[in-house]
């Protein structure tokens, strides 16, 4: 049904994005009403993020945009062509106060220069980016960045910053922290606070809950829904999580190869999809929690199982990873103008073992210590107390003394853009650990790895910024696998992938465990993925392991109330 012209905040017509001869977004039309919540779904690389970046005027060099992007209402201080809207009517501005001329004028954002667009961003247009580390200045403390988003002046700025962070469920100490000291989920909530600071007319959210555990995700979605309602803000919500779209949005657009192939109300599209792409996405989402056949390798001995760790004839097997009484404390933190914050334990007396060939899932809320734990196993940080060993050797000492560990353990980072050198081509990135191989063999190895993670061979000649977030995550996985490690540490390794690609990567990880005897420690907030892939799971809360055991037992009969809360907060897809 066509939207009332007076009620349309954003009108996009014929939006096209090209990179040379390649068409990445192909003639998109979109109407977004005031206060409406619209979901944008599709495969990784289908053009979802490029659509948002086009609206915000943030396309990178080498990309050309065509079409019109009309925003209702004139903006003070912005010079640009206006488009008369038929049937002038009063609208609601960012402050929530009626603006008599709001619906009478439309600004074509595609005609504005960078300076004019900069004046609109933050006041009338807000965006939450897919990778929070790219949206945060690594040289500024978090509180200062939130204060800057609020205007950065005035006596009450610190109080306002504290209030915004508190609404996101973040403790007071976060204002004094640097971005790298926060977990991925905490960084994502900081970006949400910055985007919502000035209650923009239009909020574009590109995978805003990608790094959040199920309980925090539910709180954030509730908060976004409340924000949209209170400020009459329109929301365009990009995600690969169809359950999240079903719970938050009223309408959905489905993209495939740069085009919108289906659109309509959530209930109709998800219950009676009309396009093969929509049917495929829904089928993949509903099958994601399928049990995978298990093949374990430990000292050359393999055993088949259907989801629980096998009992080997040669048990007990020496652990390949041992974490013994590990504590990690950050702080204390102090900076002029902000109250002093005491030292904060990220991990407290954590103990567990991982056997060769085992798949261990690590779940828990954002900030519970999951990523810190992986960094300690990888030798990137040193524990305050306790001991970590890998293959019986202590993970301690200088980087030079830990060269052996880099051949044994590889880490796939949570934020792919932050771990890929933007000035290197993908082939060189994947080949970084293969310097000893002859050049021809190195090229063959890179091509094979790119094929295995679902990328074409010509990807080797392109730079990371030419890929979607999900594609960059696959590049990071290929790089980690290049040196054939014995242990793979995966920190939200499939969080940025759409449901169909995510299934392929999970199958790939499962095959690697079987073929190479690979040990996997898999951190994820997606409990369905953990259930599908992992034999055993540990549940973390406030830096402690509060429950552990076989995945099926923990998921079907949790002993701790917190574990039950995590499971209860999982988004539900209609008809699943």
- Judge whether 453 and 477 are in contact, CB under 8 Å: yes
Same domain, 274 and 350: no
Q: Which residues of 399-423 are buried (b: 16+ CB within 10 A; e: fewer)?
A: eeebeebeebbbbbbbbbbbbbeee
Q: What is the mean pLDDT of the chain?
A: 82
Per the structure, the complete domain to which residue 63 belongs is given by 5-287
State whether 158 and 265 are in the same domain.
yes
Distances (CA, A) of 544 to 389, 390, 485: 19, 21, 28
**In this structure, is residue 399 part of a structural domain?**
yes
Do 212 and 359 lie in one domain? The reply is no
Q: Which of 253, 258, 254, 205 is nearest to 227 (CA)?
A: 205
**Cα first-last separation, the chain:** 27
What are the tens digits of pLDDT across the range 348-400? 999 999 999 899 999 998 778 998 999 999 999 999 999 999 999 999 988 88
> 184 with 59, same domain?
yes
Q: Are residues 93 and 166 in the same domain?
A: yes
Phi, psi of 197 (to 5 degrees): -55, -40
CATH classification of the domain holding 401: 3.40.50.300
Q: What is the mean pLDDT of residues 133-158?
A: 85
User: Looking at the domain assignment, is residue 168 inside a domain?
Assistant: yes
User: Both 43 and 188 in a single domain?
Assistant: yes
Task: Compute the half-sphere exposure of residue 46: CA atoms within 13 Å on the CB side of its CA.
Answer: 25
In a domain, 308, yes or no: no
Do both 272 and 351 map to the same domain? no
Cα distances from 238 to residues 39, 95, 131, 501, 518, in angstroms, run 6, 25, 13, 16, 34
Residues 6+ apart with CB under 8 A from 207: 130, 238, 239, 240, 469, 496
Same domain, 275 and 348: no
* Cis status, amide bond into 99, omega within 30 of 0: no
Residue 505's nearest CA partner among 490, 515, 483 is 490
Q: Classify 391 in phi/psi space as left (phi over 0), alpha (psi -120 to 50) or beta.
A: left
Around Cβ 512, how many Cβ atoms within 10 Å?
A: 18
Contact 28, 54 (CB under 8 A): no
Q: What is the SS3 assignment for 224?
A: helix
pLDDT tens-digit readout, 548-570:
999 999 999 999 999 998 888 88
Cβ-proximal residues to 560 (8 Å cutoff; 6+ apart), any chain:
539, 546, 547
Q: Is 395 part of a structural domain of the chain? A: yes
Q: Is residue 25 part of a domain?
A: yes
Higher pLDDT, 341 or 548: 548
Q: What is the pLDDT of residues 472-508, one digit of tens each?
A: 888 988 899 898 899 999 988 877 677 777 777 787 7
What does the radius of gyration of the chain's CA atoms come to, in whole angstroms? 24
């Amino acid at each position: 049904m066509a939207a009332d012209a007076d009620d349309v905040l954003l009108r996009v017509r014929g939006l096209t994005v090209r990179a040379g001869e390649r068409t990445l977004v192909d003639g998109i039309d979109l109407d977004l009403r005031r206060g409406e919540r619209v979901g944008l779904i599709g495969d990784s690389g289908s053009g979802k993020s490029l659509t948002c970046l086009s609206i915000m005027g943030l396309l990178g060099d080498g990309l050309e945009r065509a079409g019109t992007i009309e925003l209702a209402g004139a903006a003070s201080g912005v010079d640009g062509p206006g488009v008369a809207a038929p049937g002038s009517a009063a609208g609601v501005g960012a402050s929530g106060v009626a603006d008599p001329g709001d619906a009478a004028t439309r600004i074509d954002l595609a005609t504005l220069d960078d300076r004019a667009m900069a004046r609109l961003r933050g006041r009338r247009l807000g965006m939450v980016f897919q990778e929070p580390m790219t949206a945060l200045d690594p040289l500024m403390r978090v509180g200062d960045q939130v204060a800057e988003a609020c205007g950065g002046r005035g006596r009450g700025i610190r109080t306002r910053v504290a209030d915004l962070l508190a609404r996101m469920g973040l403790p007071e100490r976060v204002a004094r922290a640097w971005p790298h000291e926060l977990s991925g989920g905490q960084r994502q909530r900081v970006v949400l606070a910055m985007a919502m600071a000035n209650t923009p007319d239009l909020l574009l959210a590109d995978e805003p809950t990608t790094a959040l555990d199920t309980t925090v995700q539910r709180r954030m979605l509730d908060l976004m829904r409340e924000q949209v309602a209170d400020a009459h803000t329109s929301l365009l919500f990009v995600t690969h999580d169809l359950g999240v779209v079903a719970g938050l949005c009223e309408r959905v657009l489905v993209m495939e190869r740069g085009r919108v192939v289906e659109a309509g109300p959530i209930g109709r599209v998800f219950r009676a999809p009309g396009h093969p792409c929509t049917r495929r996405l829904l089928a993949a989402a509903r099958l994601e929690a399928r049990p995978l056949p298990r093949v374990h390798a430990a000292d050359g001995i393999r055993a088949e199982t259907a989801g629980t760790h096998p009992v080997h004839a040669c048990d007990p097997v020496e652990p390949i990873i041992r974490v013994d009484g590990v504590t990690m404390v950050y702080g204390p933190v102090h900076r002029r103008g902000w109250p002093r914050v005491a030292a904060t334990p990220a991990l407290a007396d954590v103990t567990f073992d991982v056997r060769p060939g085992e798949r261990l899932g690590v779940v828990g809320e954002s900030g519970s210590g999951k990523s810190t734990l992986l960094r300690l196993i990888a030798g990137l940080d040193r524990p305050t107390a306790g001991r970590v060993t890998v293959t019986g050797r202590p993970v301690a000492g200088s980087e030079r003394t830990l060269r052996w560990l880099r051949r044994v353990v590889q880490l796939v980072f949570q934020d792919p853009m932050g771990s890929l050198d933007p000035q290197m081509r993908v082939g060189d990135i994947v080949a970084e650990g293969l310097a000893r191989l002859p050049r021809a063999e190195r090229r063959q190895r890179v091509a094979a790895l790119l094929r295995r993670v679902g990328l074409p061979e010509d990807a080797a000649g392109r730079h990371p910024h030419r890929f979607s977030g999900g594609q960059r995550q696959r590049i990071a996985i290929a790089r980690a696998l290049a040196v054939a490690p014995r242990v793979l540490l995966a920190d939200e390794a499939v969080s940025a992938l759409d449901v169909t690609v995510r299934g392929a990567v999970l199958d790939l990880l499962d095959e690697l465990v079987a073929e190479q005897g690979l040990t996997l420690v898999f951190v994820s907030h997606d409990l369905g993925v953990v259930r599908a892939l992992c034999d055993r799971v540990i549940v973390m809360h406030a830096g402690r392991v509060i429950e552990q055991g076989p995945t099926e037992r923990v998921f079907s009969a949790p002993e701790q109330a917190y574990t039950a809360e995590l499971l209860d907060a999982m988004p539900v897809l209609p008809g699943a």
